[in-house]
Structure 1
Amino acid sequence: MIKQTELCYIGLGANLTEPVAQLQRAVAALAQLPACQLLHVSRFYSSKPMGPQDQPDYVNAVAALNTELSAQQLLQALQQIELEQGRQRKAERWGPRTLDLDILLFGQQQIDTPNLTVPHYGMTKREFVLYPLAEIAPNLVLPDGTALSQWLSAVPLNGLQPLQLAAQGTLCEGAPSDN
């Protein structure tokens, strides 16, 4: 029996405990997930925090992967990666984090459960999601039929800038070269 795969986009963010290293370890962990194939990773970007401004700037990226996992299984796997990297879930919304991994899109599915909303509820308003996503999937059309480029044109950079790091913006081995 052939398993169905879904093309998923994962938002990565960190602003505590060496955020660049946190994202690098998260990308390595994504590449090791069972029943998943990491396809693309955007460059890493520096962004201003969304919430309280008395916290360090964030480092953000977006990864694309194919998965045979269900959305709930993928969510559990991402939360396990967060825990392994020291994430502590606190009640403070938009507070500092060692690592945050969010399912942005799960194929063309629309999911609304108590613990998962896909497309991610805030992705169309967040420069630190849209610009890295556009880097790896410039022709993407969201499940509601809206082109990513439409959302991108409505969201300013707000200080977002790519970090100058070696070995960024990777097309992973075996990944299709066309989005």
Structure 2
Amino acid sequence: MTHVYVAAGSNVEPERYLTVALRALATAYGPLTLSPAYRNKAVGFEGADFINLVVGFSTEDSVAAVRQQLQKIEAACDRPPDAPKWAPRTMDLDILLFGDLVCQQPGLVIPRPDLVKRPYMLKPMADIAPDVRHPTLDKTMRELWESFPGGEHAMVEVPLGGAPTSPHSDRHRSPESGR
């Protein structure tokens, strides 16, 4: 089994679409580990605030199969396949880490370079997997977060329906469970 971490974000009806995406991920991959959800300003364009979180799960699927499943879930969340990169979106699902895999192919780079550049990816990742080591930087997520330059991009933890929002809560519950 490979442990996978995926960034999930939305700034168009985010509570609705994140709930849809989390339910679909739980159906596809079983129990999920959920970070707290964070509200933050849009990056790269003017738009409504995003709500972002990180989801962890284990799978025997290949990285290509997981990527295809994520694209299906984005489509189920009304995201067109040709959606522009720097624009509002109903759902954005990005593979951050896929076990210790390091790959660079057109449209798929793992570990995702934005993981160590974007606080809305790194902070939730450090929340749920502080001791996971970055496959190329050989530092833990905790170490990377603790050395991240602060104050540049404000994030506020927000509740997300029945999904857990605290690093101390039981994050192994499915969004379907309501706990």
The aligned residue for residue 26 of structure 2 is: 31
| Residue deviations 1:116-170 (CA, integer Å, cap 9, x gap) | 1110121101010111111111112110212212321224251111003453235
The runs of 5 or more residues in structure 1 that have no matched partner are: 175-179
Report the TM-score when normalising by structure 1: 0.86
Distance in 2 separating the partners of 1:26 and 1:166: 13
Please tell me whether the aligned partners of residues 35 and 127 of structure 2 are also in contact (alpha carbons under 8 angstroms). Answer: yes
Report the TM-score when normalising by structure 2: 0.86
The aligned residue for residue 146 of structure 1 is: 139
For the pair 1:159 / 2:151, whether they are aligned, the reply is no
Query: Superposition pairs for residues 1-179 of structure 1, below 5 Å?
Result: 5-16=1-12, 18-33=13-28, 36-52=29-45, 54-90=46-82, 92-144=84-136, 145-152=138-145, 153-157=147-151, 158-167=153-162, 168-169=164-165, 170-173=170-173
3-state SS of the aligned residue for 1:122?
helix
Distance in 2 separating the partners of 1:9 and 1:38: 13
Please tell me whether the aligned partners of residues 41 and 62 of structure 1 are also in contact (alpha carbons under 8 angstroms). Answer: yes
The runs of 5 or more residues in structure 2 that have no matched partner are: 175-179
Identity score, percent: 33
Please tell me whether the aligned partners of residues 8 and 94 of structure 2 are also in contact (alpha carbons under 8 angstroms). Answer: yes
Question: What letter corresponds to residue 15 of structure 1 in structure 2?
Answer: N
The aligned residue for residue 177 of structure 1 is: none
Please tell me whether the aligned partners of residues 51 and 93 of structure 1 are also in contact (alpha carbons under 8 angstroms). Answer: no
Structure 1 runs of 4+ with >6 Å offset = none
Distance in 2 separating the partners of 1:165 and 1:81: 18
Question: What letter corresponds to residue 11 of structure 1 in structure 2?
Answer: A
Distance in 2 separating the partners of 1:123 and 1:64: 14
3-state SS of the aligned residue for 2:7?
strand
Question: What letter corresponds to residue 41 of structure 1 in structure 2?
Answer: L
Distance 1:149 1:122, change over 3 A: same
Q: Which stretch shifts more, 138-147 or 89-98?
A: 89-98
- CA offset at residue 90 of structure 1? 4.0
3-state SS of the aligned residue for 2:122?
helix
| Residue deviations 1:74-125 (CA, integer Å, cap 9, x gap) | 0000000000110024463321110000000000110111121110121101
3-state SS of the aligned residue for 2:31?
strand
